[in-house]
Amino acid sequence: MILVTGATGHVGRAVVSLLSTRGEDVAAMVRNVAAAARLVPREVPLRVADYEDVPAVTAALAGIDSLVFIASDGEAGAVMRHHTNVIEAARKQRVRHITFTSIVDVDVGSSFYFAPVYQDAERRLADSGIPATVLRCGIYSDFILQYWLESGVDSGVLALPAGDGRVAPISRDDVAVAVTEAAVGRKPGSHYLVTGSQALGVAEIAASYSDATGTPLRYRPCSQDDYLMWTGKRLTAPWPRAFTTLCGSIAEGRYGRVSTDFASLTGRDPETFREFLVRSWRVGRPV
């Protein structure tokens, strides 16, 4: 049986649906049963556990052959604890394969808020002795739309401390397809860099948005301090720091790589950022 964590989330529930449609023996790990009733297909069995609850996570992994571990989210210390709990439970329950969603920037020299969290998770996975496939996922197109582009619509200006850095956005739906293929294909020891097929500067991203939606938007690079102050008025901790240091990482060129690993895994190219925008517009509010 394949167990998918984060199964009420965007990526997790898409992976559950894809595995279920392919006829795989799949179960969904959730912490919120009411949300699962709305978001997880009825025929998929649930394993209920919060990542904080070590006995519940350990029980949830009993008899699981393959784990699709969608990374947790939130304050760095908590996320690190969540990842530790899941990997330790998988070791105890002798899970035979883990597919893990990591991030592109796991560089020890990076100031990105989440870089140490994912360095830690990847190290723990390697030390666990469990055969693992790691997908280092690029910045989600959905994230860029929700947190960058839509925040600039009123002023027509997208102010970010990303300098001349480039990103290769990939949609959450495509990430789910890559994760599913990696989980089914099971090539332990593999590392995949899951990015879009084009590295775009932030000015190009803003122009693409204007072009796809007819809403004028232009990029204005700003300082990290200004962005930290701006996000600090709008978002709760840790997001101002996380978003600001992510832009720092982009400015340092850590997110500009384009990989063909998505095509190798899935046999097709990922959706382009413009295609993603058009699709999001067609279906109405994207997130």
Ligand X SMILES: NC(=O)c1ccc[n+]([C@@H]2O[C@H](COP(=O)([O-])OP(=O)(O)OC[C@H]3O[C@@H](n4cnc5c(N)ncnc54)[C@H](OP(=O)(O)O)[C@@H]3O)[C@@H](O)[C@H]2O)c1
Residues that bind ligand X (CB under 6 A): 6, 8-12, 31-32, 35, 50-52, 70-73, 82, 101, 137, 139-140, 143, 172
Q: Which is nearer to ligand X, 16 or 212 (CB)?
A: 16
Distance, CA of 165 to CA of 74 (rounded, Å): 25
Distance, CA of 147 to CA of 104 (rounded, Å): 19
Q: Which is nearer to ligand X, 51 or 209 (CB)?
A: 51
Tell me how far the alpha carbon of residue 157 is from its chain's centroid: 26
Q: Which pair of structure tokens corresponds to residue 12?
A: 């997790």
Backbone conformation region of residue 214, classed left if phi is above 0, alpha if psi is from -120 to 50, else beta: left
**3-state secondary structure at position 247:** helix
Residue nearest to ligand X (CB): 9
Q: Which is nearer to ligand X, 6 or 152 (CB)?
A: 6
CA-to-CA separations, 98 to 8, 67, 156, 193, 255, in angstroms, rounded: 19, 5, 43, 16, 25
Least separation in angstroms between CB 28 and ligand X: 9
Q: What is the CA radius of gyration of the chain?
A: 19
Q: Which is nearer to ligand X, 103 or 217 (CB)?
A: 103
Least separation in angstroms between CB 131 and ligand X: 22
Q: Which is nearer to ligand X, 139 or 251 (CB)?
A: 139
Least separation in angstroms between CB 125 and ligand X: 15
Least separation in angstroms between CB 157 and ligand X: 22
